[in-house]
Amino acid sequence: MRFLDEVNAGLNTSELNSALDLVRNIAAQGVTIVIIEHLLKVILSVVSRIVVLHHGAKLSDGLPSDVMNDPAVVKAYIGNKFAQRYQREINAG
């Protein structure tokens, strides 16, 4: 198991994409990676499960699509505008 804590901070788009490819390659080798991250682009592009903490307590836990639609997560972190955009992107395939 490996832990990544905000390792993408300050990366430009090209660097971020390279870092995400590296994370995917490591995960493909069977390594579990725990990512602490606030960039939703990062989270949604590489994870199979999301655990959201709020004030030190677990707020939500599950598949990315379930967590992103959790009303408590929408209210605490992502807001209705982002949640609606995410849902449109998922529905568009």
Quote the CA–CA distance of 39 and 22 in Å, as a whole number. Answer: 17
* 93 occurs within a structural domain: no
Is 12 within the bounds of a domain?
Answer: yes
Cα 43 to Cα 41: distance, rounded to the nearest angstrom: 6
pLDDT of amino acid 62: 97
> How many independent structural domains does the chain possess?
1
Is the pLDDT at 3 greater than 90? The verdict is yes
CA dihedral over 93, 40, 77, 79, signed as positive or negative: negative
Classify residue 86: in a domain, yes or no.
no
What are the tens digits of pLDDT across the range 28-80? 999 999 999 888 878 888 999 999 999 999 999 999 989 988 999 988 988 88
Residue 76 lies in a domain: no
pLDDT at 93 over 80: no
Does residue 27 surpass a pLDDT of 80? Answer: yes
Residue the block writes with tokens 């209705």:
80
Domain enclosing residue 14, as ranges: 1-47
